[in-house]
Structure 1
């Protein structure tokens, strides 16, 4: 099903007849429907590989053929060739296909992860109607045309303005002069096809990141059945961290395009990669922050849970240990209090372990896995720029030293 939620048969445990929930970040929006209308997306499935190949071919091949026919593919001085402009190749052959691949990743990850809110017991029978209502609201927001109209308008305005100004590095080399009438076929192809497609896909993914942020914010406001002593240290929400992998291809795509621009400056304009290191690090950090932000709304219920649980479990442990102290140290007759015989609490060491689990809860649903899922794709292209002027072993050594 494309929108909202769907009903399914009772689960195998037979505990209750709970409907299965399903929401996609990509199926159902205006971009999806436009692509299906022109048969890019088949009736069944997402056509990820086919679309990635088609987009790469449509954007890169016409420009490459024009460059070959006009002698601008390899012949020229300095960066006056197609080969020298890394950003064009990266946009067409890496970034745009990867953002299509990310749609497939999102489609495979989101529905089962949302369903796990129910399967894990975080969403109970009482909160399930509200949970489904939030998913339905999110599907309506995802399907609105206005965000896509704004994205398309902003993209066309930006692309044409840059063409009129005539100062874009990736366009100037293709033209015969600085006037708009001097823009060649290659220049127009970049201005009207390559750049707009890349920018629209980029804005679409930023919008989807916003959608996930809003969805998790609304879910976080529900009375989730979080478990303070859960061994995952986030009340049972560790599965949410896997949503970071949705944005891994997008983070790499954006970082690769920016790194290609930096690499062009280093190779053809004498820029120093070492002098740019602050910019490289800041760029990778900014990309990482943008795509980790969607997971942060769940920090609010986790923070509330930890603050409350510290007092509740602290009182429980104090009461338990006080009775143990009175019985075995002060040798008082305290009777047979149930708390000392409760099998779920166990001996002193066990109840202390429960309290330690609560005390060491993380207030943010981010782990090494989720951070690596975003930081590594964002950092690898920047490392390539640094490696242009530094031995790769030295770069890797510095990275390893920083991490260890």
Structure 2
């Protein structure tokens, strides 16, 4: 745990759910926290659902329609574990960020206290008891709506009718999924707000920093953790598409516009909060061009006077002056590689991959396995 993050109150997280997990022994702040928490949530939501459906199958000879809805199982077996695993990664990445923000290098010394106060306020907002109660009430309310409407999804894409499985799903499993999702939206909004507040400070950026983001590339870490949340959410959407394809015979290409919108929206959600630093990064790059340009002029003039105008070239061979001249030129040229945003193409690609990867299994519905293998062999031949 980062000392600065701990002293500022950012870590450990003290929200009602975090405290509950600690009290029941699921969160002990060790390497097994994620496995224990995921196992407990799957045991709470999915295993009773399966047991109930086995009883229904034994009694009636058939399963409830909700049990055959792919999106239901994906929410419980993919999305919920993804949301829980992302929390540990997010805590680590934000801890590193808070440590870097508070280490005294990013702002002037007289603003350190204001920076620490900003982090403390964000931590209190993230762990707000009132916020989690509101989110839980909303999740429970939506779960009840799914029961009375006889639907397996939030927007009613799959109508299943009221059944024993739906009652359990709408009363327990679906609200748990929604609560974790809403909780993530809340935490991500708090982090985005913290970044916006940070961007209001006059940051001491270095246009020649090797991270090519004037020293702000470390802020991309939490966005990469959030991409795991996007993966889980995209898997749920893919499950909804799968249910429609199986029920209606719809082709995957008919969901092309939705997938494009999903990728764009996901990129904006994950990386959009970092755009608040655009103005300062552009200003830092312009300032760097001016500063290193002036340095280059001064050094070129001195080089000209010492070696060209004087006509004394006897000691030129082996001197470090020429190498220094080349280094200044390379440094000035390197300023063009300083980005106007903290993230680069790699991060954009990783977020897109997290959103698109869950859609790949839909190809098995669109094309039988034999047809896919035949096409692959034909492409390689």
Q: TM-score, normalised by structure 1?
A: 0.78
Number of the residue aligned with 2:193: 214
Aligned-residue offset at 1:326:
6.6
Secondary structure of 1:236's match?
coil
Among residues 240, 245, 251, which one is paired with 2:230 in the alignment?
Answer: 251
CA gap 1:235/1:81 in 2 versus in 1, 3 angstroms: closer
Match of 2:248 in 1: 269
- Residue 349 (structure 1) shift: 1.9
DSSP-derived class of the 2:195 partner:
helix
Which segments of 5 or more consecutive residues in structure 1 lack a partner in the other structure? Answer: 8-20, 176-182, 334-340, 398-404
1:374 matched residue in structure 2: 351
* Closer, same or farther: CA 358–86 of 1 in aligned 2, 3 Å: same
Question: 2:328 — aligned with what?
Answer: 351
Partners of 2:230 and 2:201 in 1: CA distance: 30
- Are residue 139 (structure 1) and residue 118 (structure 2) matched? no
SS in 2 for 1:275: helix
Root-mean-square deviation (Å):
3.5
Choose which of 252, 269, 278 in structure 2 pairs with 1:290: 269
Q: Which residue of 1 aligns with 2:176?
A: 197
| Displacement after TM superposition at 1:201 (Å) | 0.6
Cα separation, 2, equivalents of 1:50 and 1:198: 17
After superposition, give the CA deviation of every residue in 1:77-101 in whole Å (9 maximum; x if it has no partner).
9x9462x311111111111112111
Partner of 1:51: 37
User: What's 2:143 paired with?
Assistant: 159
Matched with 2:83 is 99
Quickly say closer, same or farther: Cα 1:323–1:43, change in 2 above 3 A. closer
Which position in structure 2 is the counterpart of 1:402? none
Q: Deviations over 1:169-211 (max 9, x none)?
A: 58743x4xxxxxxx32211111111111111111111111111
Identify the residue that residue 89 of structure 1 maps to in structure 2: 73
Structure 1 position 307 matched with structure 2 position 286: yes
Aligned to 1:23: 10
Task: Output the CA distance in 1 between the equivalents of 2:2 and 2:147.
Answer: 38
Kindly state the Cα deviation for residue 53 of structure 1 after the two structures are TM-superposed: 0.6
| Length, aligned pairs only | 363
Q: 1:120 to 1:73 in 2, by over 3 A?
A: farther
Q: Which runs of 5+ in 2 are unaligned?
A: 312-318
Distance 1:208 1:396 in 2: 43
Q: Which residue of 2 aligns with 1:15?
A: none
Q: Deviations over 1:28-81 (max 9, x none)?
A: 1233234344x154455583211111111111112111212212899659x946
